Structure 1
Amino acid sequence: MKQDTTLPGHAARRRTVLAAALGAFPALSAFPALAQQPAYPQGPVTFIVPWPPGGSLDIFARALGQVLSAEWGVPVIVDNKPGASGMIGADRAARAREDGQTILLANTTFIQAPALQGKAPYDPLKDFAPVTQLGTLANAFAVRNASPIRDINDYVRLLKAAPGRHSYASYGQASSAHLLMEGFKERQGLEATHVAYKGETAPMTDLLAGHIEAGFFSERLVHEQRAGVRALAVTGTQRSALLPDVPTFAEAGLAGMETVGWYGVFVPARTPRPLVARLSRDFTAALRKPEIQAKLRDIVVRPVGSTPEEFSAALAAEWRTWKTLIEKTGIRPE
């Protein structure tokens, strides 16, 4: 029998070295899981935009697609899926594979529509993983320059002095502007008739012609028509860069108008968290590109670039705000 000539001390040292070597790689057991994670992206990426081509969100999505296509090295396809206040496109995105290859770019209607409709094909908080809030945009409440109304408190006093004899316009039935103003009326004890238009071009034309008294418009349109109209207040928590002399409703002492519109990015709910974080970083980095900054200025959107966690918290708060407001006012789409 061959004698084992290994010294006991040497064997102990070998066991110690081997244990130390294995201990230096505590994540070895995780390597198979990591190996199973495919590289991203795995071919062309689709951006679902739940609105027709040519709108601000569509234009913005296409600009982002060009930047991220160069970053990812694959084509980015913008797929417009309009209908049912954006719910058709959102539902399509919710049912997509959870691999980041299909991404939803949505606006505020994404979270308003389910509450307005009462029944929706998706749950905005449960069926999606928020990626990032891309940016925000405010509304401006305006009158024509010839109006004797000088500020928003003048308008409140006018309505209180003659209940039901005045009106205001918005760019759509059940739009953000309509919802906010009806909530404002309820808080202030005001009576005024809502005049709903489809879009903001026609009501601006009527405001300039004196056919309507006041209305909500985008800050960009009010800025462009500043020779003929005067903004009384803007929504949100900060003043508009285009209308720096116009106070927010809150600055005028009228709370409850802090909510603003937004653009955001979503993927299906069960998309792996590391991939959601990766997408958030990529979209946030794209927001810093000069060409995207220029596009944001063109469509008057303030860049945000939030984390998934920040966007998720903001959405939960917005859901409570809009749902409560819709239930209280009883507003429904046409």
Structure 2
Amino acid sequence: MQKRLHQAEEMAFAGKGIDRELAYQLSEIAGSEIYGLMDSARRVTEQFAGKHVDLCSIINARSGACSEDCRFCAQSAWYNTNVEHYDLLHVEPILERAKEMEQAGAHRFSLVTSGKGMGDDDLDQVLYIYEQLRVKTKLHLCASLGILSKDQLQRLWNCGVTMYHHNLETSRNFFPSICTTHTYEDRIETIKAAQEVGMKVCSGGIFSMGETIRDRIDMAFELRDLNIPSIPINILNPIAGTPMEGQPVLEPMEILKSIAIYRLILPSAYLRMAGGREGALRNLQALCFMAGANAALVGSYLTTSGRTVAEDIQMLQDLGRNVSIS
């Protein structure tokens, strides 16, 4: 296995990353050999990004009543999860939250809304909010508003939104097992439309939904083919009332192995640790950043609470990592 790890490092250092067959072979690593894999991933991360970590934050700007049947989601109208429902927030609480996150150390800020997409009336309100954020903060502005048309994405870009978040969620093969109300291709079309208007795209998925490690690897290659620079890695938080409420969560070392393989496939991307990391990784959470992760979503998530920004920054500083604007 040492020979394969050396080969993987050489391919990653060259910039493109390892091929699919080698990724599949590395997925068979188990036990203490996972630490060797993590160390290879750490070296590749430091080669391309040094020890800097990028921090972003979000606000749940419209909650619940989503028409889509994503089996993991607390906000789907298909399931009884007791999630809070509310329409699009006014500008004042959003601006307050953004300033709080900026003061705490976040570099990016995104509005996230429930629903398949967004009508033009709501989009007009969102554009006004982004205009206020652009004038009154120094944050990089991101958006996560579902499946949008190219014209809608162009309006966001013109308003100063530089990155659009739209997860693939899982592999193309496994996607029909988690959602039937829209297709994988619908998501890819939105990603490509955002890229065409000039935005960078943040896209990743959720580990531990019942997929195989090959499914996770296949998603990484899809993301590489799409030239995605920022890849959020969520770990399933099984929500009562959803079809996945009893889904077993992956063991921490399996999660760390997957992150390390992602780094070797995607040597220069931001691998952004997001929701679910606290519960799934428990006391091993810091090891994500020794296994290839170099970005994080900080503060509260959509329907669950995370650690404080100060706690995450302290953890990163304890690891010898720096937090700075990329």
Compute the TM-score of the two structures, normalised by the length of structure 2: 0.28
Question: Structure 1 or 2: larger strand share?
Answer: 1
Larger Rg: 1
